Structure 1
Amino acid sequence: MLGKIVSFLKNRRIWWYEPKRAALHEQCPCCDYLSLPERGADLICPICFWEDDGQDLDNVDVPSGPNHAITLRQGRNNFHSFGACEKEMVKYVIPDHERSKFTHQPRHL
Structure 2
Amino acid sequence: MRAHKRHPCPCCGFDTLNATGAYELCPICLWEDGEDEGETLELRQARANFRDHGNIYPAGAAPIEVMHPSPERAQLITYALSVLNGVEPRDPLLLDGLLLAHEVASEFD
Unaligned runs of 5+ in 2: 81-90, 97-109
The answer to whether 1:33 aligns with 2:14 is yes
2: distance between equivalents of 1:92 and 1:47?
10
Q: 1:74 Cα deviation (Å)?
A: 1.1
Q: 1:54 Cα deviation (Å)?
A: 3.1
Asked if the contact 1:29/1:52 (under 8 Å) is kept, the reply is yes
User: How many correspondences in the alignment?
Assistant: 72
Q: Once superposed, which parts of structure 1, at least 4 consecutive aligned residues long, lie more than 4 Å away?
A: 97-100
TM-score, normalised with respect to structure 1: 0.53
Instruction: Find the residue that maps to 1:35 and give its secondary structure.
Output: strand
Q: 1:3 corresponds to which residue?
A: none
Q: Percent identity?
A: 31
**Structural RMSD (CA):** 2.6
* Per-residue CA distance 1:49-108 (angstroms, 9 max, x = gap): 11111345x4222xxxxxxxxx101110110011111233343471235656328xxxxx
Q: Which protein has greater RCO, CA pairs closer than 8 Å, 6+ apart?
A: 1
TM-score, normalised with respect to structure 2: 0.53
- Structure with the bigger percentage of helix: 2
Unaligned runs of 5+ in 1: 1-21, 62-70, 104-109
Q: 2:32 corresponds to which residue?
A: 51
Q: 1:60 corresponds to which residue?
A: 40
Q: 1:95 corresponds to which residue?
A: 74
